[in-house]
Structure 1
Amino acid sequence: MSSPTALFEHSFYIGNYLSGIMYGIELMMYFSTLRHLRRRALRRLSWKFFFLYSTLLFILVTIDMATNAVWGEIMWIDKRESPGVPAFILEDLSVWYQVLGSTTVVAMVLMGDALLLYRLYIIWGSNYWIVVFPGLVYCATLTLGILELVSAFKPGGFFYSGKTIDIGTPYYAITVSMNILITLLICVRLFYLSRQARAALGDESAKLYTDVAAILVESAAPYTAMGILFLPFYARGNNVVVALGQVWSKLTCIAPQMIILRIVSGKAWTRETVATLTSSSDPEGRRGRRPLGASRSKSSVEFTSALGLEFQPASHLYSNEPTSTTITSGAESEQKLPFEELELSDIERG
């Protein structure tokens, strides 16, 4: 005879297994982020923030993994005979360490959404107005998230059933809707900026910033897509949500960590690159008042300069003669290369 909790147990087991794989991915990205930050010696306040943010995310996801592992061990080993797995699930859903794991998930969701709001602000040229509405929605999710945790803490409460769902459904609905809005706004802006980058650098050199993978990472699209898949199962109280919830909870950590890794490795869109591309877009050049080749070369220099390169001299941009170009990257050594040999990989070394 099939156990009444069989689907729940299957979902919990599959979710734990997938979570272990995703935790390994997070572990790799976290230490890769630390390696990049170590090279920069945490000289800037922003690098210190990225270190603290990444470390806090890593601690939270580790707590989530540990609590699920402990709960599964007790359920399937310690309590297998008495009171039995079904009885244990019904009686111990709101045990303190399980609620602690749920708390870390809500905290990671809020941290990830906060980073997305900041990236939206940066990618839209430091425009405060673009984040006003998403910011208000974020405040609403913060309130609902706290109420959901309070409900889960009560005796008999559980993250995926009972009265907690009555609060959790609007919480996740608003959260996912906000993620969809932010992802769409970031994607639209990045597609526009990608056209500017290709015009400035050419298709091949601009791939670092304009390819599909870069846009998916910058917009946290996988995180948003998983939230869309998670929401209907959660609202219906289907036990499949236990597996989906564990996968989504890991994406709440992985998605912002991927963005931070791109930032610290010099591959992400920054305030300077966005400002340079938007300011170097010249309608007069497009109408033919300036030679097209000259406009593109100048934009290329401005764009790459914003990424940390200094080109001297600039007069060769309007000449057909081969010229040597000095590349200066921070306080590191200088080298001379023919202008035609400059690649975006030179920028990454900054």
Structure 2
Amino acid sequence: MPTSHLLQYFPLVIDTFVYGIYCALFVQSVQVLLSRRRAHYRLHLGGLTALFLLSTIHIVAAYAWAFITDNATTAIYELISLRNPPPDLYGPDDPVVVHHLARLLRARYAIANALADAILIWRCYIIWGNSWRAVAFPCIAYMVNIGGVIVAALPLQGPSRRTAVAVCIGTTFFTNVVASSLAAGRIWWISRRVSYVLSRNSRRTYTNLTAILVESGCIYPISIIIVLVLFIVPSTSTISVLISLAPIYHIVGISPTLIIVRVGLGVSTDDVDKTITSVSRGPNDSERTHARRLPISALRFNHAATVELGLETRRRNDLDENELNDSVGTGLVESCSDTTKV
């Protein structure tokens, strides 16, 4: 087999390798969700399972196409292309089943994108205390993306099809970056607001959770940027672009799965030791100032000098090690409006 012909199969090899990594991550995510069984775990389990099944459909269809025709080794990864003129996906002697596989792979990628973005927006919505205002821009981008997918599915030719594909890529990138940044920013803001009642380890926990959301949530957008840069550079060969494009078909599902695994297992940029119940509503400035200025006096009976802080604190010895990890891993940051007496 000539070297050039062997190189044509390299995108499929990379595709298979990334799918193997995805399989391991998916098994871990299922174990985490089933062992914790927190609120909404069934919804997250269903979404992650659907994404994994879509990736499985992709790898099966890719190998089926590769065995049917020699052109499939590269055509598989040019189904969604910005090239002008568009690449030749089918040979003159290819059977009709190849055309059906092409439609299946396009639909699979569109559905996986829509589902992954929906999970990301939903997690951001929950973290922001069920506020639709917080996710307004990601939702608008999501709807535009759906419209672009519908237009791209139509039998269009030339600039119209390329424009629809470009809109889908751009809105997907925008949705992932903005939703991940909003979720991470919310957790960072909460940690800053209640930092005066948190231990050093607890503050570090918030920082690590923020890093998890940013790192895992930006994997997919960064992959898109790499592909676009290689595509724009004139000296880049087509096979190099396809090699960089092959993992994206699975990264779209790996990104939300990786957040579940990293948060559930307590793995981040710095190992998380302790967690606390997150708060989405802290005291205002006047209450905080009054609490800090409250004099410490000897114990007295029947003395009703209390300050309402509007948040719930717990003893460090009673900290629940898994509660916050599960809340962010399943997209939950619960609002606590209980009060404590100082």
1:18 to 14, 18, 21: 14
Q: Which stretch of the first structure deviates more once superposed, 26-35 or 229-238? A: 229-238
Secondary structure at the counterpart of residue 130 of structure 2: coil
Q: Distance in 1 between matches of 2:113 and 2:143?
A: 13
Q: How do 1:1-350 residues align onto structure 2 when only pairs under 5 Å count?
A: 10=7, 13-39=9-35, 46-76=40-70, 90-91=91-92, 95-151=99-155, 164-196=161-193, 198-211=195-208, 213-217=211-215, 220-233=217-230, 239=238, 240-261=240-261, 277-284=279-286, 286-287=288-289, 289-290=291-292, 302=312, 341=317, 345=321, 347=323
How many angstroms does 1:206 deviate by?
3.9
Q: Distance in 2 between matches of 1:249 and 1:78?
A: 16
Unaligned 5+ runs, structure 2? 74-86, 269-274, 297-307, 327-342
Counterpart residue type for residue 224 of structure 2: G
| TM-score normalized with structure 1 length | 0.65
Structure 1's 345 and 78: CA in aligned 2 closer, same or farther, altered over 3 A?
Answer: closer
Q: Distance in 1 between matches of 2:230 and 2:72?
A: 30
Secondary structure at the counterpart of residue 292 of structure 2: coil
How many angstroms does 1:277 deviate by?
2.4
Note if contact 2:125-2:135 (Cα within 8 Å) is conserved in structure 1.
Answer: yes
| TM-score normalized with structure 2 length | 0.66
Q: Distance in 1 between matches of 2:71 and 2:169?
A: 33
Q: Distance in 1 between matches of 2:317 and 2:276?
A: 24
Note if contact 1:36-1:264 (Cα within 8 Å) is conserved in structure 2.
Answer: yes
Note if contact 1:176-1:224 (Cα within 8 Å) is conserved in structure 2.
Answer: yes
Deviations along 1:201-228, whole A, 9 cap, x unmatched?
323234343226423256x111122122
Specify which structure has the higher proportion of helix.
1
Secondary structure at the counterpart of residue 126 of structure 1: coil
How many angstroms does 1:283 deviate by?
1.7
Counterpart residue type for residue 114 of structure 1: A
Note if contact 2:65-2:98 (Cα within 8 Å) is conserved in structure 1.
Answer: no
Q: Distance in 1 between matches of 2:89 and 2:177?
A: 37
Deviations along 1:220-278, whole A, 9 cap, x unmatched?
1111221223345557897343223222221110012223446777999xxxx999523
Superposed CA RMSD in Å reads 4.4
Structure 1's 175 and 135: CA in aligned 2 closer, same or farther, altered over 3 A?
Answer: same
How many angstroms does 1:341 deviate by?
4.6
How many angstroms does 1:138 deviate by?
1.0
Structure 1's 278 and 39: CA in aligned 2 closer, same or farther, altered over 3 A?
Answer: closer
Secondary structure at the counterpart of residue 204 of structure 1: helix
Note if contact 2:263-2:325 (Cα within 8 Å) is conserved in structure 1.
Answer: no
Note if contact 1:57-1:253 (Cα within 8 Å) is conserved in structure 2.
Answer: yes
Deviations along 1:112-169, whole A, 9 cap, x unmatched?
1111111221222322112223212211111211222334xx8xx8xxx987434212
How many angstroms does 1:108 deviate by?
0.9
How many residues are aligned here?
288
Unaligned 5+ runs, structure 1? 80-85, 304-310, 312-338
Q: Distance in 2 between matches of 1:131 and 1:15?
A: 36
Note if contact 2:71-2:91 (Cα within 8 Å) is conserved in structure 1.
Answer: no
Q: Which stretch of the first structure deviates more once superposed, 88-97 or 183-192? A: 88-97
Counterpart residue type for residue 105 of structure 1: Y
Note if contact 2:117-2:176 (Cα within 8 Å) is conserved in structure 1.
Answer: yes
